[in-house]
Structure 1
Amino acid sequence: MSTNAPDPLAALGTLPGVGDAVDSVRKAVDRVYGHRVMRRRSNEVASEAALRGARGSAALAGADWPLEEVRRRSDFGAEDEARTVGAALRLTAEAGQLLSIWRQSPLRVLARLHLVAAGGAVTRDEAVGRPRVADEKADEPLITAPLPDADEVAARLDGLSRLVIAGSSAPALVMAAVVHGELLALRPFTSYNGLVARTAERIVLVGSGLDPKSICPAEVGHAELGRADYAAAFDGYLSGAPEGMAAWITHCGRAVELGVRESTAVCEALQRGAA
């Protein structure tokens, strides 16, 4: 990033409460990475984090299945909830394959994520893997804010892409929260927007180096905090006001910390030989 280029995210890191959230997340992540189980069994922890993260993201999208049901099922094409869970699982698996592309071509990654999410879809195939065009609507029942039109979506996606490519001095949590919030605000695809937004948040957290092994599933925390709190915090992002933005970023920070707590429990279970 040029030293003369403005960094629009830098100011967000100085908002009240954001610095504390960043520090708290960093300490939590460091603790779980320092767990003795991570020395030899980090792949098992990452696999379990992926499964639990997918379950959490699907729950926010309206498919709140028990973890063991997600673990047990192999057919995810039978009904709407099953398709949602299947999409979340596919996205979590795909995210790790897209890290190297994200910083060079985030729009390509987002298109790929939607294509993967909609892998089992049998309708609206012409809309899969590309942003909405005029007169197309987005299916995201959790978010009730007015839907930006296709021209606004295109312009703001371009701005988001340039922001990601330029990079930022802001902490990874801030970038992840902004990417997540902007994609929720735009709902750029005709379907699976929440799942894609949360996967993009995961990609930022992993690609930034904050969570390089992808063992801190923020989706778990978002689900645990609940759909009502998620929507309320997102309203803060939509407001654009400093206090609203700070509330959204700190909400995302709490979600990461809860994801860390989940993976710490997994580490403890593995250490006891219970998982």
Structure 2
Amino acid sequence: MSSDRRADPPAAALEALAALEGVPSAYAAARDGIDVMLRDRGLRRTSPETTAESLLRGAHASGVLEGSASTLAEVRAGEGDAIATDAVRVSAMLLSVVPTLRQAPLQALARVHAVAAGASLPEDRLGRPRDAESAQRLRGVADLLTARTSAPALLVAAVVHAELATSTPFASHNGIVARAAERLVLVARGVDEKSLVVPEAGHLALRAAYESNLRGYADGGRAGVHAWVLYAAEAYAAGAEASPLRRAAE
């Protein structure tokens, strides 16, 4: 968040963002779209295989955003490059971390990073912040995740994503961790309990805007944060369109 918002208590900072111009309507529309998609496409009839497909699509998209050159078909066949393989490894364990995210978010984030970077970093760097400043930023993310707030869960997910992606608290794989954390928030807060929306694919579909708005967020200005929050609502709508529920019905 912008420097002035970081000085506020986490709940107040989130609620201030939720009240910015255009944000309430954007997030109401995004949540309505997700709810309608889940209801109309037969949420009660979904299988574990549908969730697995959503996670696989998310892993592919997150890997591409991290620099992977693998296609979805290659990832599905287990033939993805190293970055894609890292993202798939995260997707395979991700939902098991949901209870930890609720109770001990720092532990959950450390676990996600350890799995993502397990094939490329020495053990003593897995799940550990790069330095004291990074540790402080991670504590700030944990505070956002545990704050009692009336801000929409989608907005909390968007801010957590941006904070992790722009502060790069770990030695590697920060984008993969950030996008995994975003999905975790959507599950943990009841937006998408079966993890059928593919937010990572939403970001990939809007890649130029995704990367531009993350740069704006990183600059720390209020306008950049506002732009990111508005962008994220659009990305969630695109993530709903990428759901295997939606595609299966076409």
Match of 1:141 in 2: none
Aligned to 1:79: none
Given residue 89 of structure 1, which amino acid in structure 2 is its aligned partner? Answer: V
Matching of residue 106 in structure 1 with residue 108 in structure 2 = no
TM-score, normalised relative to structure 1: 0.81
In structure 2, C-alpha distance between the alignment counterparts of 1:262 and 1:156, rounded to whole Å: 31
Alignment partners' CA distance in 1, 2:26 and 2:20: 11
| Larger Cα-atom Rg | 1
Instruction: Indicate whether 1:31 and 2:36 are aligned.
Output: yes
1:194 match: 175
Q: What's 1:152 paired with?
A: 133
Q: Which runs of 5+ in 2 are unaligned?
A: 1-8
Secondary structure of 2:12 counterpart: coil
* Matches of 1:12 and 1:160, distance apart in 2: 15
Deviation beyond 6 Å, 4+ runs, structure 1: none
- Quick one: structure 1 residues 117 and 103, their matched pair in 2 at CA, closer, same or farther if it must change by over 3 Å? same
Number of residue pairs matched by the alignment: 241
Quick one: distance in 1 between partners of 2:236 and 2:69? 19
State the Cα distance separating 1:236 from its structure 2 match. Answer: 2.4
Superposition map of 1:1-275 within 5 A: 7-73=12-78, 82-121=81-120, 123-132=121-130, 150-226=131-207, 228-263=208-243, 264-269=245-250
Higher share of residues assigned helix: 2
**CA distance in structure 1 between the aligned counterparts of 2:11 and 2:147, rounded to whole angstroms:** 10
2:241 & 2:105 partners in 1: Cα distance? 29
Question: In 2, Cα distance between the equivalents of 1:265 and 1:5?
Answer: 35
| Shift of residue 36, structure 1, vs aligned partner | 4.2
CA shift, 1:47, in A, is: 1.7
Indicate how the Cα distance of structure 1 residues 42 and 229 shifts in structure 2: closer, same or farther if over 3 A, else same.
Answer: same
TM-aligned CA distance change 1:183 to 1:5, over 3 Å: closer
Q: Give me the whole-angstrom Cα distance separating, in 2, the residues matched to 1:30 and 1:267.
A: 17
Residue 10 of structure 2 contacts residue 143 of structure 2 at CA under 8 Å; is this kept in 1? no
Distance 2:225 2:152 in 1: 14
Aligned counterparts of 2:147 and 2:85: Cα–Cα separation in 1:
33
User: Which residue of the partner structure matches residue 135 of structure 1?
Assistant: none
Unmatched 5+ residue regions in structure 1? 77-81, 133-149, 270-275
- What percent identity do the matched residue pairs reach? 40
Checking the alignment, whether the CA contact within 8 Å between 2:144 and 2:156 is kept in structure 1 is no
Residues 111 and 221 of structure 1, relative CA distance in 2, 3 Å threshold: same
- Residue 178 of structure 1: CA displacement? 1.1
Structure 1 counterpart of 2:4: none
Amino acid paired to 1:245? V
